[in-house]
C-alpha cells in the first residue's frame, strides 16, 4: 500500500522542504505542496526538484504572490482559498505533502491548516528545529495533533543539536525520532542523498 505522508513544521523556516526532499528520496515518493505563498520563481517544489531530480512534482493548487500567511496572501490576490479544491493528486507512488507553515496557519479566517490535515486522515511527520521557544512550539504542535486525533509517525529534528531541547521533547512526547539533520552549510543533491540513507523509514 502506498504511503501518503504530511510534513508539518513547528513554525516557519524549520526545514520542512529539506526534510520533504529527503523523504522523497528515501521513500521514492512524489512531492506536493498544495499552497505556495510567495517566491513563485523559486518555490519549494523547485527546490525539491533541484535536490532530488528524479522526484515527480505535482502542481500546487494555490500559487499566491506574497510570502505571508495563506489567508492574508490570498486576500491580497483577491481570492479565497476553498479547501474543497485541495484534493490529493492521483499517483501510484508514495506521496510527500508539505504544508505551508505550521499546523495553526489559517487558509481562511475560519479554516486552519490543521482542519485540512484532520479531514485528510493522513499521518504527519513533524519537523522541529533548535531555537529559543522551540520546545514550546514542538510540544504544542504534538498536543494539537493528539487532540485532533491525527496520527504522528515521528519527528525530524533540523539544525545544530541542543541536547537539553532534544531530551525534554523526546521525554515529554514519547514520539519517535526519525532523523536528525545537522546544520549544513548548503543543501544539494549529495546532502539529501546522505540523509536519505540515514532515514528511519516509516
Q: Which residues are catalytic?
A: 33
Give the residue carrying C-alpha cell 505542496: 33
- The per-residue b/e assignment along 1-26, b for 16 or more CB within 10 angstroms, e otherwise, is eebbbbbbbbbeebbbbbbbbbbbbb
In Å, the largest CA–CA distance within the chain is: 45
* 114, three cell numbers: 490543521
Residues 94, 83: Cα–Cα separation, whole Å: 22
Dihedral sign for Cα atoms in the order 83, 95, 126, 170: positive
Pairing status of strand 94-102 against strand 62-64? unpaired
Q: Is residue 197 a contact partner of residue 23, using CB atoms and an 8 Å limit?
A: no
Amino acid at each position: 500500500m502506498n504511503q501518503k505522508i504530511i510534513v508539518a513544521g513547528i513554525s516557519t523556516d524549520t526545514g520542512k522542504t529539506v526534510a520533504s526532499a529527503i523523504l522523497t528520496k528515501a521513500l521514492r515518493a512524489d512531492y506536493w505542496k498544495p499552497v505556495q505563498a510567495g517566491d513563485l520563481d523559486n518555490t519549494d517544489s523547485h527546490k525539491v526538484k533541484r535536490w532530488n531530480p528524479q522526484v515527480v512534482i505535482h502542481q500546487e493548487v494555490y500559487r499566491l504572490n506574497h510570502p505571508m500567511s495563506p489567508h492574508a496572501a490570498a486576500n491580497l490576490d483577491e481570492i479565497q482559498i476553498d479547501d474543497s479544491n485541495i484534493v490529493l493528486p492521483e499517483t501510484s507512488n508514495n506521496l510527500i505533502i508539505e504544508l505551508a507553515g505550521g499546523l495553526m496557519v489559517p487558509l481562511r479566517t475560519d479554516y486552519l491548516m490543521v482542519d485540512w490535515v484532520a479531514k485528510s486522515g493522513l499521518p504527519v511527520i513533524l519537523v522541529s528545529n533548535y531555537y529559543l521557544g522551540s520546545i514550546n512550539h514542538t510540544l504544542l504542535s504534538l498536543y494539537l495533533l493528539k487532540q485532533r486525533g491525527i496520527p504522528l509517525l515521528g519527528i525530524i529534528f533540523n539544525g545544530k543539536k541542543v541536547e537539553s531541547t532534544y531530551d525534554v521533547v523526546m521525554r515529554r512526547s514519547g514520539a519517535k525520532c526519525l532523523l536528525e539533520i545537522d546544520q549544513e552549510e548548503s543543501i544539494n543533491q549529495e546532502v539529501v542523498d546522505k540523509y536519505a540513507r540515514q532515514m528511519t523509514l516509516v
